[in-house]
């Protein structure tokens, strides 16, 4: 850039101070306008957030309650499913939440989801729990004391040995009965086979002797 008042044989690089001052002032003005716009956007966003919270306060939500059913995580374990475009979300792979209408790919994230704030809101509950009063605390303490004071059946060595012998004797008696039934069944099968063999031998003897049978036939 040529600067007026500078000799032509001077090869040093020169800068136009006025031009760069003008560029710097323009850049500063642009930065100020951007900051002002961002501040206005933040103020409008804060107002929207305040309005959203006010609307949420108007919605009555119940306190957080304990789950009354067991979460099914193992019924579809190890099974293969063919997923197509027509497959319903509940039948597709993963864990389906019918409250939030979403699919979670693994059990850990599914538990995090159903215990999370978004899921509880969709169920009409807040994340606040009921505060226990003095009577409830006393009842809980009494219940725990009753559990601790329950008499546990204690066995001494002789009683346990006697019960073990009685149980062993029962098992032996059952085995003896099974053996008797098995022997009886085998004996009946053997006798039936012997009767069939005797009848077959008589027919064979009659055929060798030229008789059709030991009984006479009328002509």
pLDDT digits (tens, 9 = 90+) for 82-120: 888 888 877 777 888 888 888 888 889 999 999 998 998
Question: HSE (CB half, 13 Å, CA atoms) of 116?
Answer: 12
pLDDT at position 41 is 67
Alpha-carbon gap, residue 173 to 166, rounded angstroms:
11
Q: Which of these, 82, 85, 107, 84, lies nearest to 94 by C-alpha position?
A: 107
pLDDT at position 113 is 92
pTM of the model: 0.38
Give the confidence band of 154 by pLDDT, cuts at 50, 70, 90.
Answer: low
Q: Which of these, 104, 108, 106, lies nearest to 96 by C-alpha position?
A: 104
* 56 within 8 A of 117, measured Cβ to Cβ: no
Alpha-carbon gap, residue 3 to 13, rounded angstroms:
10
pLDDT at position 74 is 83
pLDDT digits (tens, 9 = 90+) for 30-77: 888 888 877 776 666 666 666 666 656 556 678 888 888 888 888 877
Largest CA distance in the chain: 161
pLDDT at position 34 is 83
Measured between alpha carbons, how far apart are the two ends of the chain, in Å? 149
Give the confidence band of 219 by pLDDT, cuts at 50, 70, 90.
Answer: very low
């Amino acid at each position: 850039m040529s600067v007026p008042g500078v000799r032509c044989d001077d090869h040093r690089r020169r800068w136009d101070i006025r031009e760069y001052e003008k560029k710097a002032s323009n850049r500063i003005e642009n930065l100020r306008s951007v900051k002002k716009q961002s501040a206005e956007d933040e103020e409008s966003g804060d107002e929207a957030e305040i309005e959203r919270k006010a609307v949420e306060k108007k919605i009555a939500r119940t306190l957080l309650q304990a789950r009354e059913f067991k979460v099914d995580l193992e019924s579809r374990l190890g099974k293969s499913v063919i997923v197509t475009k027509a497959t319903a979300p509940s039948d597709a792979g993963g864990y389906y939440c019918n409250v939030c209408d979403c699919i979670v790919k693994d059990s850990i994230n599914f538990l995090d989801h159903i215990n999370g704030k978004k899921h509880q809101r969709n169920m009409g509950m807040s994340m606040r729990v009921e505060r226990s009063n003095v009577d409830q605390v006393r009842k809980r303490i009494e219940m725990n004391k009753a559990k601790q004071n329950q008499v546990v059946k204690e066995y001494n060595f002789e009683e346990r040995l006697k019960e073990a012998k009685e149980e062993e004797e029962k098992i032996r008696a059952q085995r003896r009965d099974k053996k008797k039934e098995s022997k009886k069944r085998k004996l009946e099968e053997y006798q039936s086979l012997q009767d069939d063999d005797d009848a077959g031998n008589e027919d064979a003897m009659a055929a060798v002797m030229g008789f059709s049978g030991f009984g006479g036939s009328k002509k």
